[in-house]
Amino acid sequence: MSRLASLLPALVFLAAGCTLLRAAHAPGPLAAPERLPTAAEIADAHARDTAEAAAAQAAEELAAQAAEDEASGYDDGTGASDDDELAGVPSADEGESHDVAVPPGTPEIRYTADLPDAELQRMWKDSPESLGSISIGFTDEGRLVNGERFPDGDGWVVVDPEKSYATRETVEAVITAVKVVREQFPDAPPLRVNQISAREGGWLRPHKSHQNGRDVDLAFYYPSAEPVRARERERYIDKQKTWALLKALVTRTDVQMVLLDKRVQKVLYDAALKSGEDKGWLDSLFNGPTTLVQHARRHRDHLHVRFFAPRAQELGRRVAPLLAMRPEQNVRMHRVRRGDTLGGIAARYGSSVALLRKRNGLKSNFLRLSQVLMVPLMGPCTKCPVPPPVVVPERRLPPPPPVAAEPAPSVSLGGGAADQSAGAQ
């Protein structure tokens, strides 16, 4: 309740902000062609674009995704898929809401304050790699610039290296959490780090999100290094180590949310409670409308962890109006759908068939269903998705352990007097 109440002002602001943004831009004259659109203009254009396109595409997307998920049987690559959900049960699913609440008065530049605009522009123009990893757009409609492949290391196994590109912050967060677990359990088997993002982000089969280097699928810990390949994973996982992993993620890194089947949530919740964790804190993490861990279908065999990666996100936001300065980065990602043609895609994004073929190394005009294309744009993108400024909320930490009943003060007044007299000598 208090959590809900605390969210209200942010939601109200967001609604008000959108109205203001629209009011400010709706009657405005057309921008001079040589002027690059501001991030706010791009975001506004995207909001309108999204709203209009969303309704038209929703049904098609839903059907396509359902068919795909059905066919892929994806889990963490370790066994049976999870298909025993009741029909009609709502799930958080993997899509990220585009409505990210931003408190009023939040400065746009907060996590990249070391980079003044002119410096950022110079670096983007001359040496974009020096900026480090950049999360562009949203987790379900975005891409990744300067992503880092998750390194090999002691304590984890990278299951699918070519699909394990991430922001630097994401990599560091996962490694931090694994190290915490191994300090606690030196005998812990290596953690399986599953898919993160493609090298340049964009749609990654079979996920809806995982597009800009901030979503990681982490396997559970099992009694052995080899995962138990049974559907009811919650019966076989190492509860203590898996809880330790989740706790480390939540308390030591900036996690935006975790997707996890409610049956696994229950097992971890019970184990945590039994080990003495604070119930109120656990309730703020598990199985509620505003909890950090949310139920989602097909998440019975892994933790889907979304990190804020605030620096990469903020760079993405600030670089958005500068994309046209680097033609090779002035692209949209497009996932080929039934009926798509190169000509149609070129027309839709204001690109050309020649550019599309060149950028994607296509030897013919033949397209595969669900193929991901980089679409080179011929001018500044006014419809590219730009999220609002990122604001990392305070971490949800357990309350400090209750202070044990204090014994009577050991230093008596007499002792103090003796000290004083000793000091006087």
User: Which positions touch Zn ion (CB under 5 A)?
Assistant: 217, 304
Residue 191, beta-bridge partner list = 156
Please state the closest distance from residue 207 (CB atom) to Zn ion, in A.
Answer: 5
Nearer to Zn ion by Cβ, of 255 and 375: the residue is 255
Bond before 206 cis per omega within 30 degrees: yes
Nearer to Zn ion by Cβ, of 82 and 314: the residue is 82
The alpha carbon of residue 42 and the mean position of all alpha carbons in its chain are separated, in whole angstroms, by 21
**Measured between alpha carbons, how far is 198 from 104 in angstroms, rounded to an integer?**
34
Nearer to Zn ion by Cβ, of 131 and 204: the residue is 204
**Measured between alpha carbons, how far is 408 from 121 in angstroms, rounded to an integer?**
63
Residue 180 gets the label, from left (phi > 0), alpha (psi -120 to 50) or beta, of alpha
CA dist 383 to 208, 265, 298, Å?
20, 39, 32
Please state the closest distance from residue 160 (CB atom) to Zn ion, in A.
Answer: 12
Residue 98, beta-bridge partner list = none
**What one-letter code names the amino acid at 213?**
G
Q: 2-25 and 39-72 helices cross at what angle (nearest 10)?
A: 120
Nearer to Zn ion by Cβ, of 96 and 148: the residue is 96
Please state the closest distance from residue 255 (CB atom) to Zn ion, in A.
Answer: 14
Please state the closest distance from residue 203 (CB atom) to Zn ion, in A.
Answer: 13
Please state the closest distance from residue 101 (CB atom) to Zn ion, in A.
Answer: 23
Please state the closest distance from residue 208 (CB atom) to Zn ion, in A.
Answer: 9
Q: 262-274 and 239-252 helices cross at what angle (nearest 10)?
A: 90
CA dist 411 to 69, 388, 424, 425, Å?
69, 56, 19, 20
CA-angle at 45, arms to 42 and 46, nearest 5°: 85
* DSSP for 11-44, written as a single string: HHHHHHHHHHHHHHHTTPPPPPTTSPPPHHHHHH
Please state the closest distance from residue 378 (CB atom) to Zn ion, in A.
Answer: 34
Nearer to Zn ion by Cβ, of 102 and 157: the residue is 157
Please state the closest distance from residue 304 (CB atom) to Zn ion, in A.
Answer: 4
Please state the closest distance from residue 140 (CB atom) to Zn ion, in A.
Answer: 11
CB 196 within 8 A of CB 163: yes
CB 295 within 8 A of CB 92: yes
How many CB atoms neighbour CB 254 within 10 A? 17
Nearer to Zn ion by Cβ, of 128 and 206: the residue is 206
Nearer to Zn ion by Cβ, of 41 and 69: the residue is 69
Nearer to Zn ion by Cβ, of 133 and 211: the residue is 211
Q: φ, ψ for residue 135 (rounded to 5)?
A: -95, 115
Please state the closest distance from residue 194 (CB atom) to Zn ion, in A.
Answer: 8
Residue with smallest beta-carbon separation from Zn ion: 304
Helices and strands of the chain, counted as H and E runs:
11, 12
Nearer to Zn ion by Cβ, of 46 and 304: the residue is 304
Nearer to Zn ion by Cβ, of 214 and 239: the residue is 214
Please state the closest distance from residue 134 (CB atom) to Zn ion, in A.
Answer: 21
CB 128 within 8 A of CB 316: no
If residue 319 lies in a helix (H) or strand (E), which one and from where to where? helix 310-319
Nearer to Zn ion by Cβ, of 163 and 304: the residue is 304
